[in-house]
Structures are given as structure tokens and as C-alpha cells.
């Protein structure tokens, strides 16, 4: 019924009524002063250390609720439902729950561990190469 009313409002040229139907009054529990956003992938940031996942992408804050997405240019108010086909792919691809209570230190720690593992693998590879090419083959010696 709501969909029919919205369609009629648009067809009858009642844009104010159509906009009112699209607005949603959801409450997002965020602090009055938002902590600095943390980059979780290129172009996508998360509000750290809050119970609900709140992302920032392309000028909007995004929240996933009950399988749907809502966005707002202001994290304090103005949340609107966004049809699934209009949610940007980088936001849709985020695994549900992964960024709840996200800690900036956690992200930095994971990045440091990844870099340390990469450096360790490179060092092991170089040692193998040195053992393989450096000794025991008898090549290149003038006796």
C-alpha cells in the first residue's frame, strides 16, 4: 500500500509527499563528537569504537539495518533508505559485523603483522636463493 501511495504521489506531481515517504526515522547511537574515521579499504571509512557499523563513502554515512542500507550526509539525522541496486559496490561488499566496535589500533596492528610476515617470507626466499646458487656446485672456480 505504501508503494502505491508513493507511486501515486510521484505521478500526481506531489514531490513533497514523495520525499516524506522516503525519509526514515532511524536512530544511530553515535557520540556527539564523532571520532576520526578509519580507512578500512580505499574510499571507505568506518566510525571506530561504536556498537553499530557506520561507514563513510562518497560524502555519505552508511548503516546496514535488517538486511537493508540507509545513508545520510549527516551522521546525526536525515537517514534515508537506499534500494539495494543503488548502494555502492564497495559498501555492499563489506562483510556484516566485521567492523562493529572497530579499533584503529586493531587495523594498524593487522597491517604491521601483514608487513612483518611479508618481510619474513622475503628473507626466507633470499636465504634459499643464496643456498641454492651460492655453494656446492663447483662452478666458476679456477683450480
Cα–Cα dist 129/33, whole Å? 54
143 pLDDT above the threshold of 70 = no
Cβ atoms of 9 and 17 within 8 Å: the answer is yes
Give the residue extent of every domain in the chain: 26-102, 103-134
Amino acid 42: pLDDT: 92
pTM, 2 dp: 0.58
- Residue 133's beta-bridge partner residues? none
Percent of the chain scored above 70 by pLDDT? 66
19 pLDDT above the threshold of 60 = no
Residue with the bigger pLDDT between 109 and 96: it is: 96
87 pLDDT above the threshold of 80 = yes
- Residue 45's beta-bridge partner residues? 39, 56
Amino acid at each position: 500500500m505504501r508503494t502505491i501511495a508513493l507511486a501515486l504521489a510521484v505521478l500526481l506531481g506531489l514531490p513533497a509527499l514523495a520525499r516524506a515517504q522516503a525519509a526514515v526515522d532511524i536512530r544511530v547511537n553515535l557520540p556527539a563528537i564523532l571520532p576520526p574515521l578509519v580507512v578500512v579499504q580505499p574510499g571507505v571509512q568506518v566510525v571506530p569504537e561504536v556498537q553499530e557499523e557506520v561507514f563513510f563513502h562518497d560524502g555519505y554515512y552508511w548503516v546496514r539495518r535488517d538486511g537493508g542500507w540507509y545513508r545520510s550526509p549527516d551522521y546525526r539525522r536525515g537517514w534515508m533508505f537506499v534500494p539495494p541496486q543503488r548502494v555502492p559496490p564497495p559498501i555492499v561488499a563489506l562483510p556484516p559485523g566485521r567492523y562493529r566496535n572497530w579499533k584503529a589500533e586493531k587495523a594498524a596492528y593487522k597491517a604491521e603483522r601483514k608487513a612483518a610476515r611479508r618481510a619474513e617470507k622475503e628473507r626466507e626466499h633470499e636465504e634459499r636463493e643464496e643456498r641454492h646458487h651460492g655453494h656446492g656446485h663447483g662452478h666458476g672456480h679456477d683450480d
